[in-house]
């Protein structure tokens, strides 16, 4: 079925901060950007940049770390006063009312319910992106602490499907099957504990269409499904998503722009009434920061300006980043007020709200 229906359009202003609370992860996805930072455990003890070529002993990759100028390794955040202070400073500066926990894998953080409680206690809406490694174990506590939603990254319904997007250490079918079960258990635990769930599926290319269709049919009965373009694979990823949409009989319903970021997503209704979202990255640039960037062209800039990210370095300093391809642009949170980035980002959000509502005739 061809996807020809024109969906309604909605424009929302970006009010979210991504917080990398942990670097540890038990998967080794071949397309992982790891929020722009190198794999900490594979690079501890290295004194010089770059942080090494290719994956280390974990098999994990961070696809931009050899070229993005990153100058630190990410540390595990704790729900302490410095954490609260850093989040509060950034949230107030950027008028944010939502935070999204990332990693690494947040469910491996032994204090993730306390982190959620600290953030919800500030009046912030809390979300999480997870591959589900320990979601079943921590979801009840996270829900009680105030977790609103979780996006569970799912990579297959069989060991072979998961192995197709993992490093060589996943040659063990038993390991792959255990990870698949953990993701499914996380989705079910979140649903049963009242946490809104979306299942995230990165679609690298046409070879993955069957895998994606299987996942839509498996998970779509009890959770929203989101197809994500692979930022490393460009047009191949886009074509594969179009094919998968056609295969599940999807028709577009609502297109949402997050004004002030590169995030655009469309809601489709698939056969059986399943909700399927497609998330795309638009060529959005900050007017000053991105103007002279060496990646600022139609091929090299793969994520655009996606929003604010918060990191903690191994030296105990909170850093704010605006681009995973240019981690050299990170600034200490302590220096945020004099960096100029707050004023630039806020003005850019205002301009994007006006532009998008005018262009699409949509209500903000």
Average pLDDT over residues 323-342: 96
At residue 233, the pLDDT reads 77
At residue 49, the pLDDT reads 55
Asked, for residue 123, whether it belongs to a domain, the answer is yes
CA 299/CA 181 separation, integer angstroms: 37
At residue 269, the pLDDT reads 92
CA 256/CA 280 separation, integer angstroms: 11
Least confident of 73-87, 155-169, 234-248: 155-169
Asked, for residue 47, whether it belongs to a domain, the answer is yes
Q: Rounded to 10 degrees, what is the CA torsion of 75, 76, 78, 83?
A: 40
Pairing of strands 224-229, 318-321: unpaired
At residue 240, the pLDDT reads 93
- Domain holding 327, by residue range, is 8-360
Average pLDDT over residues 238-259: 94
Q: Phi and psi at residue 134, in whole multiples of 5°?
A: -125, 25
At residue 322, the pLDDT reads 98
Average pLDDT over residues 215-235: 83
pLDDT band at residue 48, thresholds of 50, 70 and 90? low
pLDDT reading at 168 higher than 90: no
pLDDT reading at 214 higher than 60: yes
Asked, for residue 2, whether it belongs to a domain, the answer is no
Q: What is the DSSP letter of 336?
A: G
Q: What percent of the chain has pLDDT over 90?
A: 69
At residue 229, the pLDDT reads 82
CATH number at residue 34: 3.20.20.70
pLDDT reading at 255 higher than 90: yes
At residue 185, the pLDDT reads 94
Average pLDDT over the chain reads: 91
Are 258 and 14 a contacting pair, CB within 8 Å? Answer: yes
Least confident of 23-37, 92-106, 169-183: 169-183
pLDDT band at residue 3, thresholds of 50, 70 and 90? very low
At residue 45, the pLDDT reads 78
Q: What percent of the chain has pLDDT over 70?
A: 95
Q: Is the preceding omega at residue 104 within 30 degrees of 0, hence cis?
A: yes
Residues 6+ apart with CB under 8 A from 176: 156, 159, 160, 162, 163, 166, 170
User: H/E element holding 88?
Assistant: helix 81-93
At residue 2, the pLDDT reads 44
Average pLDDT over residues 215-231: 84
pLDDT reading at 193 higher than 60: yes
Q: Say which residue, 130 or 299, is predicted with more confidence.
A: 130
Distance from first CA to last CA of the chain, Å, rounded?
32
Average pLDDT over residues 126-134: 96
Asked, for residue 227, whether it belongs to a domain, the answer is yes
Asked, for residue 268, whether it belongs to a domain, the answer is yes
CA 51/CA 335 separation, integer angstroms: 26
Least confident of 81-85, 127-131, 230-234, 302-306: 230-234
Least confident of 24-38, 118-132, 317-331: 24-38
Q: Phi and psi at residue 8, in whole multiples of 5°?
A: -65, 160
Q: What is the DSSP letter of 329?
A: G
What pTM did the predictor assign?
0.92
pLDDT reading at 70 higher than 70: yes
At residue 211, the pLDDT reads 84
Asked, for residue 3, whether it belongs to a domain, the answer is no
pLDDT reading at 224 higher than 90: no
Kindly provide the b/e burial profile for residues 229-242, where b requires at least 16 CB atoms within 10 angstroms of the residue's own CB: bbbbbeebbbebbb
CA 49/CA 162 separation, integer angstroms: 32
Residues 6+ apart with CB under 8 A from 121: 146
Q: How many domains does the chain have?
A: 1
Asked, for residue 150, whether it belongs to a domain, the answer is yes
pLDDT band at residue 51, thresholds of 50, 70 and 90? low
């Amino acid at each position: 079925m061809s996807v020809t229906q024109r969906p309604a359009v909605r424009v929302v202003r970006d009010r979210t901060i991504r917080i990398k609370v942990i670097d540890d992860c038990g998967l080794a996805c071949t397309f992982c950007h790891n929020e722009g930072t190198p794999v900490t455990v594979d690079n501890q003890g290295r004194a010089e940049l770059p942080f090494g070529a290719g994956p280390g002993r974990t098999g994990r990759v961070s696809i931009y770390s050899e070229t993005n100028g990153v100058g630190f390794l990410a540390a595990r955040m704790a729900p302490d006063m410095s954490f609260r202070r850093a989040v509060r400073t950034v949230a107030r500066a950027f008028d944010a009312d939502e935070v999204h926990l990332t990693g690494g894998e947040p469910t491996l953080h032994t204090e993730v319910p306390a982190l959620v409680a600290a953030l919800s206690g500030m009046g912030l809406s809390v979300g999480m992106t997870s591959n589900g490694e320990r979601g079943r174990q921590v979801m009840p506590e996270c829900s009680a602490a105030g977790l609103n939603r979780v996006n569970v990254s799912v990579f297959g319904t069989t060991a072979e499907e998961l192995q197709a997007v993992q490093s060589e250490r996943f040659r063990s079918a038993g390991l792959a099957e255990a990870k698949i079960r953990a993701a499914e258990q996380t989705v079910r635990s979140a649903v049963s504990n009242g946490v809104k769930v979306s299942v995230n599926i990165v679609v690298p290319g046409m070879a993955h269409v069957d895998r994606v269709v299987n996942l839509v049919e498996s998970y779509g009965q009890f959770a929203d499904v989101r197809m994500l373009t692979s930022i490393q694979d460009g047009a191949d990823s886009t074509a594969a998503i179009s094919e998968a949409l056609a295969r599940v009989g999807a028709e577009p319903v609502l297109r949402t722009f997050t004004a002030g970021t590169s995030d655009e997503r469309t809601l489709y209704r698939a056969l059986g009434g399943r909700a399927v979202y497609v998330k795309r990255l638009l060529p959005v640039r900050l007017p000053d920061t991105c103007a002279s960037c060496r990646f600022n062209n139609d091929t090299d800039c793969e994520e655009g300006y996606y929003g604010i990210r918060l990191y903690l370095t191994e030296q105990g300093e909170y850093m704010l980043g605006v681009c995973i391809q240019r981690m050299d642009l990170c600034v200490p949170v302590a220096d945020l007020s004099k960096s100029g980035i707050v004023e630039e980002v806020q003005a850019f959000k205002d301009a994007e709200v006006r532009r998008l509502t005018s262009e699409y005739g949509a209500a903000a």
